[in-house]
Amino acid sequence: MNTKSFLSGAICAFLSMTLLLPVSVAQGPYSASGSIVSIIRNATDPPLSTLVARENDIQPNQRMMIEQILSLLPAGCEGNIRNFYVRYDNPTDRGLAGKDTVIVSGNVPDNEFRALLVHEILGHVTDLGCLQGTSKNGRSVFTDGKEPIWNNDPSTLFYGISWSSSTQRKSDARSQDFVSGYAYTADPFEDMAESTTFFLLHRDAFQKMTKTNPILAQKFQWIQTYVFPTTPSYARSTYVWHADSIPWDTTKLSYKWIAPAKVALAR
C-alpha cells in the first residue's frame, strides 16, 4: 500500500500504538499469533538484513525472504530503512511503506509475503527513500503528502507517464496502461510499486504486454533502468495474461520463485 497522506497517518497511528503495546512478544522459537515484531535502526546500527537474520521472532522462512528482497535494493539503499515491522496480529492492511518504514503482515502465504516485500521495499522504499532529487531543481507537480518531490527526482519520469499530479491520472490514461486495477485507481506511487512487483515476479507477462502497449513499454523500460538494471529474472510467472483484462492486485498473482537460497548480487 502506498505512502502519501494516508500512509503517513496510518504509520503514525501504528507507531503510536506500539509505544503503548509490547512489540516483540513472541513466545517460542518464532513469532506466535498476535505478536508484532519490530526492528528499529539508528544510522550507526548494522544493516537491516543483518538485524533480520538475528531476529528469531520472525519465522525462519520469512527471514530468508526478507534477506533476499533486501539484497535486490539499489546499492546503498538498504540503510534508508529505519523501522521494520512484521505483524502476526492479522492487521487490516497487509502492507504499508514509506521512505524509511516498512510494515508487512506475517499472516499470509509465502508467495504473497514475498510479493508484499517486493511491493513495499523494492517499490515504495526505492521510490521515496532511495531515488531523490535536489531542491535547486525546483518542485515538480508531484508531492508525497506535504513533502515536495523535486523535478530531477528520477521517479517523476515514471509518474509522468500516466499521471498529471499525485492524485490525477492523465485524461487519456486507460486501464490497459496499468499492470493492475489497484495501480490504475490509486496514485502514481502505487502504479510504480505494482509495476515493480509485476516486473520482478511476472516479467515474461509484462514483456508480452509491452509489445502492444507503448505506455507499458515505457514503464517497463523505466524500471529496468532505475530499479533493476542488472537483476535477472528470479521468478517464473504462472499468471495467464489476457489482453482485454488486468488483475486487481499484483501481490496476489501466482508465480514460482526460482532464485537460489542466497541471492548474491554484485553491489
Any domain includes 175 = yes
Any domain includes 248 = yes
Domain match, 145 and 106 both: no
Domain match, 199 and 230 both: yes
Please give the grid coordinates belonging to residue 238.
504462472
Output the DSSP codes for 41-84: --TTSPPHHHHHHH-TTS-HHHHHHHHHHHTTSPTT-GGG--EE
Domain match, 249 and 139 both: yes
Any domain includes 84 = yes
Domain match, 140 and 94 both: no
Q: What is the pLDDT of residues 171-199, one digit of tens each?
A: 999 999 999 999 999 999 999 999 999 99
Please give the grid coordinates belonging to residue 65.
525472504
Q: Residue 260: CB partners within 8 Å, gap ≥ 6?
A: none
Q: How many domains does the chain have?
A: 2
Q: How far apart are CA 196 and CA 163, in angstroms?
A: 17
Q: Which amino acid is at 130?
A: C
Please compute the mean of the pLDDT values over residues 246-261 and round it to a whole number: 86
Q: How far apart are CA 140 and CA 133, in angstroms?
A: 10
Domain match, 55 and 100 both: yes
Ranges of H-type helices in the chain = 4-20, 48-54, 60-70, 110-117, 155-162, 181-185, 188-201, 203-210, 214-226
Any domain includes 119 = no
The answer, yes or no, to whether residue 23 has pLDDT greater than 50, is no
Any domain includes 121 = no
Taking Cα atoms as reference points, which of 227, 232, 224, 257 lies closest to residue 114?
Answer: 257
Cα atoms in the Cβ-side hemisphere of radius 13 Å centred on 3 = 28
Binned at pLDDT 50, 70 and 90, residue 108 comes out as: very high
pTM, rounded to two decimals = 0.86
Domain match, 14 and 108 both: yes
- The pLDDT of residue 257: 92
Please give the grid coordinates belonging to residue 92.
487490516
Any domain includes 168 = yes
Domain match, 9 and 108 both: yes
- The pLDDT of residue 63: 94
- The pLDDT of residue 1: 58
Domain match, 167 and 71 both: no
Cα atoms in the Cβ-side hemisphere of radius 13 Å centred on 217 = 6
Is residue 207 helix, strand or coil? helix
Q: Which amino acid is at 266?
A: A
Range of the domain at 207: 135-254
Q: How far apart are CA 121 and CA 123, in angstroms?
A: 5
Domain end (from 60, 79, 113): 113
Q: How far apart are CA 129 and CA 148, in angstroms?
A: 13
Domain match, 88 and 29 both: yes
Domain match, 139 and 227 both: yes
Using a pLDDT cut of 90, give the percent of the chain over it.
Answer: 71
How many residues appear in the chain?
267
Binned at pLDDT 50, 70 and 90, residue 260 comes out as: low
